[in-house]
Amino acid sequence: MPLYLDTSALLKRYIAEPDSAACEERLLADPVWITARHTLVEARRNLARLLAGDELAAARRQLADDWRRINVVELDAVTCDAAAAIAEATGARTLDALHLAAASRLGVGAIVLMTFDAQQARAARALGLTLWEA
C-alpha cells in the first residue's frame, strides 16, 4: 500500500533518532512514497537547524535524491480548504492539517500514513486514516 510520509518520518532518513532504523526498514520495503509539497520546506528547515557542515551537505543530497522519487501532492485550493476544515474539526496544527488533507485526498484506506508526531497521529485516527505503527 502506498506510504504517505509526513516530515517527521522523512527526517528519520537523514537524522539518527529513536525509530530511525524501523522507519528506514519500512521505507525501503515500500516502492511508493507520497508527501505534500510543504514537506520539502519543513525538511530543509529542520536539516539546517539540526545539522551543519558535511553532515548537512550529505543530508541535503540524500533529500534531493529522495525528492525525485516521491509523489508530491500539491497544496492547491482544494487541499488547503480541506486542511482548514481538518484544523477546525481536530485542532491539528497548520502544517499537520496540510499533511492530513493531502493524505485524505488520496483516499481513506488507500494509503498508510507514517508520522512520529503523536498529536498528528490522533487527528489522523479521527479522520479514519491508516497509520503505520513502529
Q: What is the mean pLDDT of residues 93-109?
A: 96
Does domain 3-131 fall under CATH 3.40.50.1010? My reply is: yes
The angle that helices 77-90 and 118-126 make with each other, rounded to 10 degrees, is 100
**What rounded mean pLDDT belongs to the chain?**
96
Residue percentage of the chain with pLDDT more than 90: 93
Q: Express as a percent the part of the chain with pLDDT over 70.
A: 99
- What's the confidence (pLDDT) of residue 48? 98
Cα separations in angstroms, 10 against 2, 89, 106, 112, 118: 14, 26, 19, 14, 16
Q: What pLDDT, in 10s, does the model give residues 2-50?
A: 999 999 999 999 999 989 999 999 999 998 999 999 999 999 999 999 9
What is the pLDDT at residue 1?
Answer: 87
pLDDT digits (tens, 9 = 90+) for 43-68: 999 999 999 999 999 999 999 999 99
The answer to whether residues 23 and 8 touch, using CB atoms and an 8 Å cutoff, is no
The ranges assigned to domains in the chain are 3-131
Check pLDDT > 90 for residue 99.
yes
81-92: pLDDT as tens digits: 999 999 999 999
Name the grid cell of 2: 502506498
Task: Please state whether the predicted TM-score (pTM) of the whole model is above 0.85.
Answer: yes
